[in-house]
Amino acid sequence: MVKDVEVVLVCGPGGVGKTTVAAAIATATAVARDARVLVVTVDPARRLADALGIATLGNAETVVAPDRFPERPRGTLSAAMLDTVASWEDLVRRNAPDVATAEALLANPLYRTVTSRFAHSHDYLALERLHELRASGRYDVVVVDTPPSRSALDVLDAPRRTAEFFSSRLLRWLVPAGRTAAARPFRLVADRLLGARFVADVTEFFTRLATLESSLVRRTTEIEATLRDGTTSFVVVTTPEDGPAAEATALAAALGERGLAVDTVVCNRIHDDAVLDPGARDAARALGRAADRLGARLAGSGGEDAAVLARLLAEAGSSFADERVVAARQLRVAEELAALAPRVVRLPRLDGAVGDLTGLVALGSLLLD
């Protein structure tokens, strides 16, 4: 999956095992390749840290110790979680024209409020961080665990929205150099309603923010190019149920509308095809029909134990029949999902969650085949 890939964006509905798949891709890649691999999550939940067995996960990359792997990896694995506050500060310092402008912007009373509530700021920062990591040369492969489908699209749309913001009338009105004489009455009204000090703080904030425009707009163009680059891969994760599958289908269509092609669909938690074998079906039916006789034979002397065993055998046959119905429906959904991408990977339903690197390596080997 990632032989010639530098960026893997793992997308999909919520609750389908997306974080586990992202962690498994990164872990198996570090084991199989002499590559510096980073897995980063945009979702502030602790799922990625738990999957990798890391106590704390933040904006700074954390190296996963090689001795924690079931076998020594050929490459290295690191992990990080997007921290909005730290990422904003890094962004301002990297893109401000000088240190004084950066410090003045960070010290502005509105800085924390605006950056924490700025629409889609988290989404833009996710791709800004991805761009910074890729450009740094510190990693050969970056795997990104995105938030659920709708939020993932917000992340992918963030560069365009950022460029639109810097070209908006609102920003031009807030920055003195962009105002016209006609705007003066509105400024006077704002001073009276909001207070001259507040308006001055707002004006100063956006004036200094505007100094970042050329750098940020250039980077949004570079980010857009990264998303469309041949070394970037989109992986959509879903489960073979109608709801998640429909959401994955809609996500793939939305990506296509943006000129972004899905390379791989991962159909997670799928039943074993063995339950669809006609021989297994016939054996389950025979078990149900012979439950009373087999129960009596197994119980030896008959009586209450025989009745209990007969009931258990009958329920086993019935449960197997139910499993066949579910497996057949899942197979149909999985076949429909095959139309979304040139490659479809079916992952088996596991008894429990993958909770360590051994499990991630095993799961990842299925994804990289």
| Amino acid (1-letter code) at residue 172 | R
> How large is the average pLDDT for residues 331-350?
89
All structural domains of the chain with their residue ranges: 7-271+349-368, 273-329
How far is 249 from 245, CA to CA, in rounded Å? Answer: 6
- The per-residue pLDDT for range 273-298, each reduced to its tens digit, is 766 666 666 666 666 666 656 655 66
Q: Could you tell me which residues are beta bridge partners of residue 262?
A: 234
Q: Could you tell me which residues are beta bridge partners of residue 238?
A: 267
Q: What angle do CA 201, 206, 210 make, to 5 degrees?
A: 150
How far is 220 from 44, CA to CA, in rounded Å? Answer: 23
Residue 226 pLDDT: 87
Backbone dihedral angles phi then psi of residue 62, each to the nearest 5 degrees: -110, 125
How far is 126 from 130, CA to CA, in rounded Å? Answer: 6
| Predicted structure pTM score | 0.77
Residue 22 pLDDT: 92
Q: Could you tell me which residues are beta bridge partners of residue 79?
A: 39, 62
Q: Could you tell me which residues are beta bridge partners of residue 8?
A: 143, 233
- pLDDT category at 8 given cuts 50, 70, 90 is very high
CB environment 302-322: b (16+ within 10 A), e (fewer): eeeebeebbeebbeebeebee
How far is 98 from 136, CA to CA, in rounded Å? Answer: 21
Question: Residue 276 in contact with residue 328, Cβ under 8 Å?
Answer: yes
Residue 234 has pLDDT above 80, yes or no: yes
Comparing 25 with 329, the larger pLDDT belongs to: 25
The pairs formed by 84-93 with CB atoms below 8 angstroms and a separation of 24 or more are: 84/115, 84/116, 84/121, 84/122, 84/125, 85/115, 85/116, 86/58, 86/59, 87/59, 87/125, 87/128, 87/129, 88/115, 88/121, 88/125, 90/59, 90/132, 91/125, 91/128, 91/216, 92/212
How far is 219 from 232, CA to CA, in rounded Å? Answer: 17
- The per-residue pLDDT for range 92-106, each reduced to its tens digit, is 888 888 899 888 888
Instruction: Select the CATH number that applies to the domain covering 7-271+349-368 from these four: 3.40.50.720, 1.20.1270.360, 3.40.50.300, 2.60.120.330.
Output: 3.40.50.300
Residue 28 pLDDT: 93
45-54, 170-179, 259-268 — which is least confidently predicted? Answer: 170-179
Residue 151 has pLDDT above 60, yes or no: yes
